[in-house]
Structure 1
């Protein structure tokens, strides 16, 4: 085998990923036994997010205890309670139930797990690969949750902390990390997931899902802007909020706690802009009225408006309507399937409402003596479906009648590019291989060319010898014009046979 053939074999084998390489000779492992490379990747998926979360939890608990001069004997129970609270597991301290938990730690944990899961997705995933990933992403958190449940049970004699129920604890962990695994896998292998489904996903469903993602982000952005504006409008409450702080440590603790609860406030503001009431125990706040109720004195609740309701507050309902109209305009301009565009609009409205329903459920819960705090979910669902659905149809009709269609943007996947073009294909390992930039060729390369297809320069007449040829249509009585066409006559050898037709 020549050196060029050896280089070609090496380049071809090097361009294949580890997942596609042929297994070593011998007995092949079963489907229940992953390869060593896959085992290492799954171990990282199971261990790395859990270790990072545990390290951050221990550090936070120790810093708080050292700054507040608390005895370290209660540190294990505090670490276990913090881990459970970060996974939205309700805690009971004495007779007080704390179910309204901050969403920032939960979002960070889910993001870490999804990111690690996305890194471990193979190029061509099979159902068994996805099952291994789902099991790996659940293994570490479930093990750590079991340890924390045991620690909180043992620490009941030191701290007045009641151990949560194992069903609710493991249920929350499974739901959160399965969602993280689904998000991570879909971000890297969405076409492969579609191929594994028994039915084909219609195009309007995909367009509706993409529009729903944009709608949710826009609505959250509008809610965050409204929260900031309301915060500056109620700056006079700062002094009364921090009256319970006795030193700098208390001020920093209250400020940090308010930042952790900031996503909860933004989600409540999104529901408020849609017309749903936000309940605070026996009281409520809405665009059409403010009921009585005692609000906790924390900086996170400074943007909450006070009563009575102003006459211009219902005008804020134009915000979700405008968000829905904008989503419909995008669908009307980018969708080539005119019959499927209304279905895409309905899909976008339904998925957007479902996303906000999940977020509102996560951002709500019991808050001690105050009672249940959160958005009224029974009002939120019909209102959001109405604003996003009706606004989407209005925007879609407007775009079809008055706006030019936008050019479709094709998604570019870097992994697809790497599958077709491997950088190893452009390098040569042996010195005998030809240089791709070398344009010099041996004359022997063309020495064996077929003489029948070569041009005989001697049979080509001189270019200057031109013959004027006049062409007229068949049956035409018009005399040919000699100046119509100037053609060069080139004589060539005909093959043996008929010298007239060349056959």
Structure 2
């Protein structure tokens, strides 16, 4: 019997070949299987999601801009309704109060009884801008495209124009009954756009602005210079806040005299006077920055600087009690 036909040779050669085959096959590791599964799921998710369309992009960016504006608008509605109810005013005043409040929030002047009030408190505008800038930053801080920014810019222009148009029409309609007038439409829209565009610029943040500067071959020093200017301005505001706090403490008697000028001030009236002072606090803070830099602060015919103070009867606002009667000789040291 030859070696090829021997049963022993077949039985011994078979297992050896199968053993060699088994030695060449390696089982997949559990970690590799998990990675492959994760990659497959992400690939399926990308295929299911598909490319972002302009419709979905516009919807997303619309809510980024509209939500802060609507929150501010309906907050004003609640405040106006509470004011009408607490003062037992006619309910017909409610639409006028809402429209006028929205105009003030967008820094539009108030025109009533032949008088134009353009020195408006900027705190409501700052709150609206802060909400919008925060919402923009949360929406684009992780990932954003140029098309996303274009859609966002479009809504930042369109949404305030629509809301200003509605409020302006409400005031125009109220002017047929009450002694008031809507502010000039063109400057009002311009102020609202400046407010919203500024909030957009702040909400985009320095990192995104540096990326855009790199993309469009703009020197990074431009963005760094703007960031440094903003930091310097914040430092000046902090110093001005310290100076105002000191004036508030040393001139507290003047503020008490202003409060005493109201014969019957209690309850809602007291709350209104204090609230109005708080609304004008950012205005006074900015004026203090200008005075510390050497300029003058004017209220009507009155002027205040580090070198001289010329006062006339001021509006009966407790906050204006911080204004000193004369300029101290050492005040120039604050320059």
Q: TM-score range by the shorter chain?
A: 0.7 to 0.9
Does the CA-based 8 Å contact 2:210-2:223 persist in structure 1? Answer: no
Q: Between Structure 1 and Structure 2, whose CA radius of gyration is higher? A: 1
Q: How far apart, in 1, do the equivalents of 2:214 and 2:170 lie? A: 45
Does the CA-based 8 Å contact 1:88-1:106 persist in structure 2? Answer: yes
1:279 Cα deviation (Å)? 1.1
Q: Please, which moves more after superposition, 190-199 or 51-60?
A: 190-199
Corresponding residue number in structure 2 for 1:106? 125
Report the 3-state secondary structure (helix = DSSP H, G, I; strand = E; otherwise coil) of the residue aligned with 1:157.
Answer: coil
* Structure 2 CA distance for partners of 1:154 and 1:103, relative to 1, 3 Å: same
Corresponding residue number in structure 2 for 1:12? 39
Report 1:215-294 matches (<5 A).
Answer: 215-242=232-259, 243-244=261-262, 245-294=264-313
1:170 Cα deviation (Å)? 1.1
Aligned length: 305
Q: How far apart, in 1, do the equivalents of 2:41 and 2:253 lie? A: 67
Q: How far apart, in 2, do the equivalents of 1:188 and 1:69 lie? A: 52
Corresponding residue number in structure 1 for 2:18? none
Corresponding residue number in structure 1 for 2:15? none
Report the 3-state secondary structure (helix = DSSP H, G, I; strand = E; otherwise coil) of the residue aligned with 2:310.
Answer: coil
1:296 Cα deviation (Å)? 0.8
Does the CA-based 8 Å contact 1:46-1:137 persist in structure 2? Answer: yes
Q: How far apart, in 1, do the equivalents of 2:299 and 2:42 lie? A: 60
Report the 3-state secondary structure (helix = DSSP H, G, I; strand = E; otherwise coil) of the residue aligned with 1:296.
Answer: coil
* Structure 2 CA distance for partners of 1:159 and 1:109, relative to 1, 3 Å: same
Report the 3-state secondary structure (helix = DSSP H, G, I; strand = E; otherwise coil) of the residue aligned with 1:218.
Answer: helix
Structure with greater proportional helix content: 2
* Structure 2 CA distance for partners of 1:85 and 1:24, relative to 1, 3 Å: closer
* Structure 2 CA distance for partners of 1:60 and 1:187, relative to 1, 3 Å: farther
Query: Are 1:152 and 2:171 an aligned pair?
Result: yes
Does the CA-based 8 Å contact 2:302-2:311 persist in structure 1? Answer: yes
* Structure 2 CA distance for partners of 1:191 and 1:291, relative to 1, 3 Å: closer
Corresponding residue number in structure 2 for 1:34? 54
Q: How far apart, in 1, do the equivalents of 2:227 and 2:68 lie? A: 28
Normalized against structure 2, the TM-score is what? Answer: 0.82
Report the 3-state secondary structure (helix = DSSP H, G, I; strand = E; otherwise coil) of the residue aligned with 2:303.
Answer: strand
Corresponding residue number in structure 2 for 1:173? 192
1:51 Cα deviation (Å)? 1.4
Q: How far apart, in 2, do the equivalents of 1:206 and 1:164 lie? A: 36
Residues 187-209 of structure 1, C-alpha deviation per residue, up to 9 Å, x if partnerless? 5623432233233324xx55544
Q: CA RMSD in A?
A: 2.6
Does the CA-based 8 Å contact 1:92-1:98 persist in structure 2? Answer: yes
Corresponding residue number in structure 1 for 2:319? 300
1:222 Cα deviation (Å)? 1.0
Corresponding residue number in structure 2 for 1:56? 75
Corresponding residue number in structure 1 for 2:328? 310
Report 1:64-143 matches (<5 A).
Answer: 64-121=83-140, 123-143=142-162
* Structure 2 CA distance for partners of 1:152 and 1:199, relative to 1, 3 Å: same
Report the 3-state secondary structure (helix = DSSP H, G, I; strand = E; otherwise coil) of the residue aligned with 2:116.
Answer: strand
Does the CA-based 8 Å contact 2:209-2:223 persist in structure 1? Answer: no
Normalized against structure 1, the TM-score is what? Answer: 0.56
1:177 Cα deviation (Å)? 0.8
Report 1:481-492 matches (<5 A).
Answer: none
Q: How far apart, in 2, do the equivalents of 1:5 and 1:44 lie? A: 42
